[in-house]
Each structure stands twice: as structure tokens, then as C-alpha cells.
Amino acid sequence: MAELTDDELLAELGVTVAPKKAGGLTPREDRIIAGFEEILRFHDENGRAPLYGEERDIFERLYAIRLDRLRVLPESRNLLAPYDKFRMLDATATLTEANPDELDDAALLAELGVDATSADDISVLRHVVTREEKRAAEEIANRTPCEDFENFKPLFEKVRIELDTSVRQTRNLDKAEMQLADIRPGEWFVVGGQIAYIASAGDEFVTEYERKDRRLRVVYDNATESNVLARSLQKALYRDGAGRRITNPSAGPLFGDEAEDDDLQSGMIYVLRSKSELPEIAKHRQLIHKIGVTGGSVEARITQAAQDPTYLLADVEIVATYKLFNINRTRLENIFHRLFGAVRIDLSIADRFGQPVKPREWFLVPLHVIDQAVEKIKDGSITEFVYDPKTASLQEK
């Protein structure tokens, strides 16, 4: 039996040997072969040729463009025929609109909306932008004046107040948790530096990529609106570094079951009346009240009132307390300050070092109105009311 060559031995073992590259290849031919070998590796790993589709991996789309170009270049087909073990070059090409004449990776990446850090290293990318994401950005930017903005203006004003008083909060967008179903009428977001309200939604449909979507009417706080796809808004929110979701009041309760960093397991809203003999205090003693929140004993808190400028350097009496559970102290205090801000006492008291102190929690408001405010805080309706100093009462907005 004649001695077998290495290639013949490998063939006996069922190993296919790729043809050796012929010597004297031009740099262009080397690049063509190297590019095709990347496509072969993709096929080995995925069991198929690379395909188009804006939802697909950026490199798969790059390989699909490259493969199409190789299919229509006679020199490429002849050069690559010995390597085409999957017969990918025999398929019909589907050229892109750009139809690049040269196999320049940087140009191909640009066609895909990608800015490469280096034309010599396409494995390191930055600023990857798909055409779908470009369309999303264009949809968001394509706004028109909102003709009926006066109908939405009160809603925006209410949301701003609720954000100022911490009844609502803004939260970072979590791509892993946020679903398309979360972008629905009645929801609020911050996109492009503006508050956006989902006013309405059209019927759901299935896209060419077998994904659900629908048209939305989005109204913005600058009195414009846009008619965008839900997925376009979703992509715009993700790409916006400052994109945020505005919670509903029920999503961040003042009193709830889950504790937060500034929550008190149990606590007290307290209302104090000063015994100060300052003329401006003594004149309206029955109407001037300090409203505060504490997690401990109110009595213990006021033992040193006469030495504390925040208590007007005078003793105080407790006129009302309200026992509460799972209180978010900051939100609660902000609500009272917003509600009674117009009647806050403007007074400056010198501390024991002679430095002026301006107490912030004393308000010219009747005790029965404070009672009403606490009840409306409990039932969540407080954001619907303002305090009217002229009538000394809570009034619906």
C-alpha cells in the first residue's frame, strides 16, 4: 500500500481540509478571503447564513451586507468558490440601498448607522445606532403644536406640584423590567428634558418583525405633541441619558406597606402653639401653629423649646397629634410646606450666638383646617386642594 500524504490521511479520518490559499494574492484578495472567513465562522456558530433585520445583532447585519456584495462580484465568486462549503454564494443577493462598490468595513458600518472607533478594528464599536433607533428619534423629534393644550395644561400643573411635594417621583428606566405594556395612556415620562404625557393609544398591531406595537398620542409640557409608535418612544427613553419615568401617586404612597430610607415605622404629626410674648405671636396666638413630624415622643422633643430658636425661644403647648404608620417624613413635610407656604410666618429669631434663625414650620392657619388637611393626606386627595388665606379654608383647585 502506497504511503498516504497528510491530506489523504486526514481525508480517511473524515476531516475536510480547506484549500490552501494560492501564493501571490493581492491585498484586496486577502481582505476578501478574510472577510468571507468571518461569514463562515458565523455560519459554523449559528447554522445559517447571516440575515438582515434591524432587530438583529450589528455584526450579523454587517456580514449580511458583505455576503450580498460578494455574491454579485465575479472576482469574489471565483476567488471564494473553494471556500464556500455551505454554498452561500449561490443564493440570490439582496443588495442594500447604498450598494457599496468597495468592501470597506468602515463604509459598511456607516451604512448600518455605526460609528467605528477604527476602520482597522470593527470588533470595537461605539455609538451603535440602528436605523430603527434613528426612526425612533425622528418620530420623537417630529412634533406639532398641540391645538387643545389648554385641556392638558391643568394635568401638567398638577404633576409638577406632585413632583415638588414628592407625591410623585421620577425613577430611572430599567430596561429589564420596563415592558411595552407600561407605555400606556395616563402614564408620564421625562424625555428630551420635557415632561411627556401619554394621552391616548391606537389599536395594537403586529410589525413585520412579529412584534406588537401601537400608535400613541404624546403631549409635551411645551404645548407640542407627537404621533409615535410605542416602541419608538421606548427606544427614545432608553437612549436619553436623562430619560425618566414619573410614578403614579399610588406607586409611591405617603403611607404604605413598604418602608423607604426616610420612612418612620410609626410616628406622629404634631401641632404646637407658642407661648411666646412677642407681639406678632401674641396677637394671633390661636391661629399660629407649628406643624412637624417626629418618630419619637413629642413631649421629649419640646422639653428644650425655650432655648431653641426653631420654637421661637419660648415654651409651647401641644394642641393636636395624629398617629400614623409608614410615614415618609420628607414627603409629608413638603406637602404641608407647599399647602400652607403662602401663610408661613416670616420671622427671624437670634440664636444663643446671636446668629439669626428663620423658623420654617410656623403657619398662620386655624387648627380645624390642619385637621382637614391631615384627613385629605390620608385619603390621597390633598393634591386636589389649595389653602385660601382670604377664607381661611381649603378650596378645590
The string of pLDDT tens digits covering residues 114-155 is 444 444 444 444 444 455 555 555 555 678 899 999 999 999
CA distance 237 to 324: 37
Distances (CA, A) of 373 to 269, 379, 384, 395: 12, 10, 11, 11
Q: Are 44 and 72 in contact (CB under 8 A)?
A: no
Q: Are 318 and 271 in contact (CB under 8 A)?
A: yes
pLDDT, residue 122, reads: 42
pLDDT, residue 128, reads: 47
Return the number of other C-beta atoms located less than 10 Å from residue 376's C-beta.
17
Task: Read off the pLDDT of residues 353-384 as tens digits, 9 standing for 90 and up.
Answer: 777 888 888 999 999 999 888 888 877 788 78
Residue 104 pLDDT > 60: no
Buried b (16+ CB within 10 A) or exposed e, 19-30: eeeeeeeeeebe
Residue 317 pLDDT > 90: yes
pLDDT, residue 365, reads: 93
% the chain with pLDDT above 70: 71
392 grid coordinates: 381661611
CA distance 39 to 53: 16
pLDDT, residue 153, reads: 92
CA distance 283 to 345: 13
Mean pLDDT highest for which of 86-100, 226-240, 251-265, 319-333? 226-240
Report the DSSP beta bridge partners of residue 362. Answer: 290
- Segment 344-361 mean pLDDT: 80
Site of grid cell 385660601 = 388
Task: Read off the pLDDT of residues 245-290 as tens digits, 9 standing for 90 and up.
Answer: 888 764 444 544 444 444 444 567 899 999 999 888 888 899 999 9
- Segment 81-99 mean pLDDT: 70
* Mean per-residue pLDDT of the chain: 76
Domain edges within the chain = 24-129, 133-251, 263-396
pLDDT, residue 315, reads: 92
pLDDT, residue 271, reads: 93
CA distance 178 to 236: 13
Given the DSSP bridges, would you call strands 188-191 and 263-274 parallel, antiparallel or unpaired?
unpaired
305 grid coordinates: 423649646
Backbone angles phi, psi at 14, to 5 degrees: 80, 20
CA distance 108 to 102: 9
- Segment 289-302 mean pLDDT: 86
pLDDT, residue 235, reads: 80
Residue 230 exposure: Cα atoms within 13 Å on the Cβ side = 24
- Segment 36-40 mean pLDDT: 87
Site of grid cell 432587530 = 55
pLDDT, residue 121, reads: 46
- Segment 313-338 mean pLDDT: 81
CA distance 8 to 74: 31
Task: Return the HEC string of 286-349.
Answer: CCEEEEEEECCCHHHHCCCHHHCHHHCCCCEEEEEEEEEEEEEHHHHHHHHHHHCHHHECCCCE
Residue 101 pLDDT > 80: no
CA distance 253 to 332: 10
Site of grid cell 470595537 = 124
Residue 388 exposure: Cα atoms within 13 Å on the Cβ side = 8
Return the number of other C-beta atoms located less than 10 Å from residue 304's C-beta.
10
CA distance 39 to 64: 8
Residue 213 pLDDT > 80: yes
Residues near 305 by Cβ (< 8 Å), separated by ≥ 6? 311, 314, 315, 316
